[in-house]
Structure 1
């Protein structure tokens, strides 16, 4: 599969991707190679990766706990201490083998250690492949507030190996699929049609769609690397989606939602807001929302939940001068940025979600 050329690195795929990886390692001649994993990727992914790795450099495995709750500065400190104990220097390399938590945190660890060492990302979840693989966003959460601490810095290479998808439970595949649906909504009718009618459990089908999603995000990032303009469109559904995800993470009475599950809700809410504010056709709003609902279970929201979620909106990274800004759609493939939304409309959006049926 043809690679995708990002700003100053490549996203490579499958078996040919390992050739590119091994060539890069020979070229760079790093002092020590550290492979950052969590306990899941250590068990299910590391062996396959090492079988395809060719290097004579010293190799160290560093393991962290799995899950969003460990994507924090405390975990970073633990990794930095391990790097120091194992004599990492400025010519060391970190290979981040895992989902978005591992690649985001590992990239941030690399950017800060000795003011910056090289890192390579090997995403092992569908979400990380289509979302974290492009854009150079690294960072960690601040409590339950997502991605509040971080920097933009590109890896030396990203290797997408569909083999790892076979290690995932179905709910993790579904979580990543939400980002592909988002790419369809913000990019084009043709990609939306291709994704919405695909089988996210078929790795043969997914392979080409993953590459298309990577290419779509890459196209946006190349135009706007620091999220000053069009890159904000990649946050469609994420303003409320991130707030929902954070709320369900910190509220003990709630069952935690995966990222894609929360973003799916956020996209349905954003569809309604787009209809009300940006002129999205009502039939498009309903049809696309029903497609999304067909893949993700309905979640119940009480008024107190919505109030708490609205309070969390003030921490969204797109905000400026105390104003919460949304990405909305005029039509599929035509997002509009920096839209202000009243709390009254947000309540109506939740009512729309509550009453929506995928029939």
Structure 2
């Protein structure tokens, strides 16, 4: 599988990616290497990475607790202290080995430590392979508000080794499909169509679907790296999806994975697309049916509607206090900076629940 070259870095695939990693390490002559993992990734993936690194440079593993609830400034502070105590300097390298929490947080930690050290993302979940590790967004949550603190800076390299997916529970693997489906809905009808037959997928098929999905995001990000216009389209499903994810984050019986929340958000925002931009209702019904078939249908309690809507006020896409949505015109095309009244948002919840 051919590497994908972006303007700033290379996205490498499977076993050949480790040759490129070792070449990067040897060429840059790093003083030390720090591998950031969570406890799950450390258990299932670290040994595979260490086996493939060929260097005499000192390697230290930094482990954090898994889960979105640990993606915060307290975790960053503990990591900055650990880096300092272990003698990290500006010639050190950080390798972020894990899912979206690890790559988001690890990139942010690396960008801020001594005003910035090199970092490499090695995503181990489907979600982080097709989304979190690509595009240079690094950051942490501020309480229940997702990704409020951060910076856009690209890694020096991304390694995609799909064999890591073998260690994932089915629920986590399925979560990553939401971002791939989103890429098809906003930009590539063929990619969306290819994802319809998920039950018949082989691992080789999944490799190419991941490759296609990364290309969709890569092309959008390169045209608008700082999210002024086009890159905002990647937020389809996220205005409501992030609010739902945040609202239920600390409710053990209702907490949703990122992809599960975004799937709900895409159903809701497809309904808004029909009402505001005239997206064909048959397309909306098919999107709803496909997403519910793939992710299930956890109900949104009507008593939670107002609280979720309240969280949307903090969405980063908002302008002048107005909540902004990305909505579909058709499968494969969308419009940014759309507004919807609260009563219509409530109707979208009702449409999803029914």
Q: What's the TM-score, normalizing by structure 1?
A: 0.97
Q: 1:301 Cα deviation (Å)?
A: 2.0
Aligned equivalent of 1:264 = 263
Q: CA deviation at 1:137?
A: 0.2
Deviations 1:289-337 (A, max 9, x none): 1111101121222222011000000010101110100000000111111
1:199–1:206 Cα contact (<8 Å) kept:
no
Partner of 1:314: 313
Query: Partners of 2:106 and 2:344 in 1: how far apart?
Result: 39
Give the match for residue 189 of structure 2.
189
Deviation at 1:63, TM superposition (A): 0.7
Whole-Å separation in 2 of the counterparts to 1:259 and 1:200: 24
CA distance in structure 1 between the aligned counterparts of 2:200 and 2:52, rounded to whole angstroms: 26
The alignment covers a number of residue pairs equal to: 354
**Cα shift at 1:279:** 1.2
Question: Does the CA-based 8 Å contact 1:183-1:234 persist in structure 2?
Answer: yes
User: What's the TM-score once normalised by structure 2's chain length?
Assistant: 0.98
Is the 2:148–2:316 contact (alpha carbons within 8 Å) kept by the matching residues of 1?
yes
- Spell out, residue by residue over 1:130-159, the C-alpha distance to the aligned partner (whole angstroms, 9 max, x if none): 001211000000111110000000001000
1:117 counterpart residue number: 117
Structure 1 counterpart of 2:302: 303
Separation in 2, partners of 1:169, 1:128: 15
| Structure 2 contact 104–133 (Cα < 8 Å) conserved | no
Shift of 1:347: 0.8
Cα separation, partners in 2 of 1:65 and 1:253, compared to 1, 3 Å: closer
What does residue range 121-200 of structure 1 map to in structure 2 within 5 Å?
A: 121-199=121-199
Aligned to 2:341: 342
- The aligned counterpart of 2:351 is 352
The 1:200–1:104 alpha-carbon spacing in structure 2 relative to 1, beyond 3 Å, is farther
Give CA-to-partner distance per residue, 1:2-22, whole Å, 9 cap, x none.
Answer: 111122101100011111111
The answer on 1:242 being equivalent to 2:227 is: no
SS of structure 1 residue aligned to 2:150: strand
TM-superposition CA deviations, 1:16-54 (whole Å, max 9, x none): 111111111111110000001110011000011111111
Q: In structure 1, what is the Cα distance between the partners aligned to 2:163 and 2:171?
A: 17
1:15 aligns with: 15
Distance 2:268 2:314 in 1: 18
Structure 2: segments with no counterpart, 5+ residues: none
1:133–1:214 contact (8 Å) kept in structure 2? no
Of the structure 1 ranges 197-206 and 290-299, higher mean CA displacement relative to structure 2 is found in 197-206
Matches within 5 A, 1:55-70: 55-70=55-70
**Greater CA drift, 238-247 or 291-300:** 291-300
Q: Aligned partners of 1:15 and 1:223: how far apart in 2?
A: 30
The CA RMSD over aligned residues, in Å, is 1.1
